[in-house]
Amino acid sequence: MKHIAIVAGGDSSEYEVSLRSAQGIAGFIDPAKYRTTLVTIRGKRWQAETADGVYAIDKNDFSYTDASGRHTFDMAYITIHGTPGENGILQGYFDLIGLKYSCCGVLAAAVTFNKFTCNRYLQAFGAKIAKSVLLRKGQDYDAHSIASELGLPCFVKSNVGGSSFGVTKVKQESQMAAAVERAFQEGPEVIIESFLEGTELTSGMYKTRTKTVNFPLTEVVTSNEFFDYDAKYNGQVQEITPARLSPELTREIQRQTALYYDVLGCKGIVRIDFIVTRDGVPHVLEVNTTPGMTATSFIPQQVRAAGIDIRDVMTDIIENELSEA
């Protein structure tokens, strides 16, 4: 039986969310086909957590040793949201030691993790995006100039984080400095984006060598100022799957999702967030290459709405990697 490491944790504010995703994935993977072990990463502490105890990971080959001997893995299913699992660092390590993994490689992970870079790249392939300004830590900026360029309200957030940590909807210039400082607590780069009014949607999909599977879209409706952490994880949101869109617009967003998946070089399950503005034009918000996989996350919802068994999805992804020459 093939041994799959479910790799979770990481060094960002999304540590706990990642552990919840790992629990979801452990329940989604078919136990009749695969043996799974949770591996948590936090700084230099890498450990396998089994029913018998917790064991240090040997970083030379990503193995662990318990009373019964040494255990290796056939594949890693990465479900870290944030560094080092979403930005290419862990993928580079797995490439070096020759261990297969579930999501995209180093370049695609690094590009998609950087919202500013990713959206500007996708713009070359026809994507519509919000106007934005990038700030690096220590860089001087003029709040008045930014407000004049982007308009108010605007969004200030980490350029390299997720789950809406450190995000502020700025309505007045006087709020800009505090919002930027808050966003810098999540990482060394901050992106400030113009406000797009419209319907927020998320589109999930995956590919194997033999098929492309687009999931139904989810429409996100919240009474909060925006789709913040509480809306995402504490139930302050209405998530409608399938989204209330025309069949034509649904197909167009799915087409764009598949196109961007390919031009970025994605792999495994990917979720792309959009806003459809009032003129009916989809705008890309961000690309998630290790999307949340808790029981209530978007992808499991979309899989259920599609009438697909999520165990079959997991098997597709695992076998697509294990059978690769």
Residue 218 has pLDDT above 80, yes or no: yes
Percent of the chain with pLDDT over 90: 90
pTM: 0.93
Residue 229 has pLDDT above 80, yes or no: no
Residue 13 has pLDDT above 90, yes or no: no
Residue 11 has pLDDT above 90, yes or no: yes
Residues 130, 244: Cα–Cα separation, whole Å: 23
Q: What is residue 164's predicted lDDT score, i.e. its pLDDT?
A: 66
pLDDT band with cut points at 50, 70 and 90 for residue 325: low
Q: Are residues 185 and 159 in contact, defined by beta-carbon separation less than 8 angstroms? A: no
Q: Which residues pair with 288 in a beta bridge?
A: 271
Give 38's contacts (C-beta < 8 A, 6+ positions apart).
5, 6, 8, 22, 26, 48, 49, 50
Residue 232 has pLDDT above 80, yes or no: no
Pairing of strands 75-78, 100-101: parallel
Residue 228 has pLDDT above 80, yes or no: no
pLDDT band with cut points at 50, 70 and 90 for residue 115: very high
Task: Considering the domain delimited by 132-194, tell me its CATH architecture.
Answer: 2-Layer Sandwich (3.30)
Residue 143 has pLDDT above 80, yes or no: yes
Determine the residue type at 192. I
Q: At what angle do helices 176-184 and 143-150 cross, to 10 degrees?
A: 90
Residue 61: how many CB atoms within 10 A of its CB? 12
Q: Are residues 293 and 24 in contact, defined by beta-carbon separation less than 8 angstroms? A: yes
Write the CATH number of the domain with boundaries 2-102.
Answer: 3.40.50.20
Arithmetic mean of pLDDT, 198-204: 97
Question: pLDDT tens for residues 268-291?
Answer: 999 999 999 999 999 999 999 999
SS3 212: strand
Residues 170, 206: Cα–Cα separation, whole Å: 35
Identical fold, 110-128+196-322 and 132-194: no
Question: pLDDT tens for residues 29-70?
Answer: 999 999 999 999 999 999 999 999 999 999 999 999 999 999
Number of helices (H) and strands (E) in the chain: give both, helices first. Answer: 10, 19
Question: pLDDT tens for residues 102-113?
Answer: 999 999 999 999
Q: To the nearest whole number, what is the mean pLDDT of the chain? A: 94
Q: Are residues 289 and 266 in contact, defined by beta-carbon separation less than 8 angstroms? A: yes
Q: Which residue shows structure tokens 């060094």? A: 11
In angstroms, what CA-CA distances link 304 with 298, 308, 313? Answer: 10, 6, 11
Q: What is residue 166's predicted lDDT score, i.e. its pLDDT?
A: 86
Percent of the chain with pLDDT over 70: 94
Q: Dihedral angle at the C-alpha atoms of 11, 12, 16, 19, nearest 10 degrees?
A: -50
Residues 182, 65: Cα–Cα separation, whole Å: 42
pLDDT band with cut points at 50, 70 and 90 for residue 119: very high
SS3 5: strand
Q: At what angle do helices 298-305 and 310-322 cross, to 10 degrees?
A: 110
Arithmetic mean of pLDDT, 90-95: 98
pLDDT band with cut points at 50, 70 and 90 for residue 324: confident
- Domain limits of the chain? 2-102, 110-128+196-322, 132-194
Q: Which residues pair with 203 in a beta bridge?
A: 272
Write the CATH number of the domain with boundaries 110-128+196-322.
Answer: 3.30.470.20
Q: Which residue shows structure tokens 């407000």? A: 147
Lookup: tokens for 320 = 């697509």
Residues 286, 153: Cα–Cα separation, whole Å: 19
Lookup: tokens for 30 = 């078919």
Residues 253, 268: Cα–Cα separation, whole Å: 19
Q: What is residue 291's predicted lDDT score, i.e. its pLDDT?
A: 96
Higher-pLDDT residue of 208 and 235 is: 208
Cα 40 to chain centroid distance, Å, stands at 18
